[in-house]
Copies of this chain bind each other. A is one copy, B any other.
Amino acid sequence: MYYIGIDLGGTNIAAGIVEEKGKIICKKSIPTLAYRPTDEIVADMAKLIGMLIEKGGISTSEIKSIGIGCPGTIDIENGVVIYSNNIPMKHYPMAEKLCEWTGLQVYIDNDANCAALGEYAVYGEGVSSFMLITLGTGVGGGLILNGSIYHGFNGAAAEPGHMTIVSGGEECSCGKRGCWEAYASATALIRLTKEAMKKNPQSLMNKIAAENDRVTGKTVFDAVLENDGAAQAVLSNYIRYLADGIVNVENMLQPEIIAIGGGVSHAGETLFAPVREYVRKYGFNKYLKKAKIVSAKLGNDAGIVGAALLNL
């Protein structure tokens, strides 16, 4: 049997046919066009599934279920999107609507939770606790305990990006101050980079940004490779913020694996080595095994894989 996974994003609807172990056998994406009636988006999701089935050369009878990873607050029991900002929705019965189009069982969960489940699938069996943290525009994540997404009692867990790590600090888009997201996201890294560029006009970061016509999450890493002092200071600051949050996750939950994904994670060992060192030094657990801190593997496919596996 196969499973359809849909990663519903503000820009694109990405979908794939997925095998039981999490392997994508084919995938395809279409634009979301988020600001149209949601019924039209769902109709396009149904069309996309039709195209996938054709592309994959399988029949509908070989598909066990559909899963959707959706941004926002989800009532997973009832398959309802309670609220989403990126794709404007309020109390929208998405699972029911897509089931009407396809005749298949539809599962839905938060997109970050699906990504976590997808990454978990590639780390295989036997991992009792797994946390994915994604460093992108925001800081997202999901917690997998004993093979299942941990939702808390109300379905709203886990939101590691909105832990306070600097009480009273930078304002976050969520309305609170000092969230991890405001210090450890790619957006935050770009802010820290821009601040340092202003203070250090001689820094290589300015030259690199000018060559690329903009500051990105990569600017500081490129300058660090050339031993730029101001860039090294930015990075070491960023790493402390990032690692403080990872220590928080570890001290609270002691997951067996903490996987870091999202754009910033592509910096590789320049980022991972000092983060691991900080966590090793400052994690509260000094006498027992420590979490493995690894790079997420699936990139943008994680959401598709996790959504597909929602009913397993």
Contacts of A241 in B (CB 8 A): 167
Contacts of A174 in B (CB 8 A): 282, 284
Q: Assuming the A-B contacts A82-B288, A129-B152, A285-B154, are A247 and B164 also in contact, with contact meaning beta carbons closer than 8 angstroms in the complex? A: yes
What is the CA–CA distance of A155 and B32 in the complex, to the nearest angstrom? 44
- Separation in Å of the A141 CB from the closest CB of chain B? 9
Contact call B254/A152, Cβ cutoff below 8 A? yes
Interface size class of A (residues with CB under 8 A): 35 or more
Residue from the list B128, B166, B288 in contact with A156, Cβ < 8 A:
B288
Contact call A159/B82, Cβ cutoff below 8 A? no
- Separation in Å of the A259 CB from the closest CB of chain B? 14
Residue from the list B160, B165, B175 in contact with A252, Cβ < 8 A:
B160
What are the 4 A-B residue pairs with the smallest beta carbon separation, nearest first? A152-B254, A153-B256, A156-B285, A157-B254
Given contacts A83-B286, A156-B285, 14 further A-B contacts (CB under 8 A): A73-B285, A143-B252, A152-B255, A153-B291, A154-B254, A154-B290, A157-B251, A159-B251, A159-B285, A165-B166, A167-B244, A175-B282, A176-B284, A178-B244
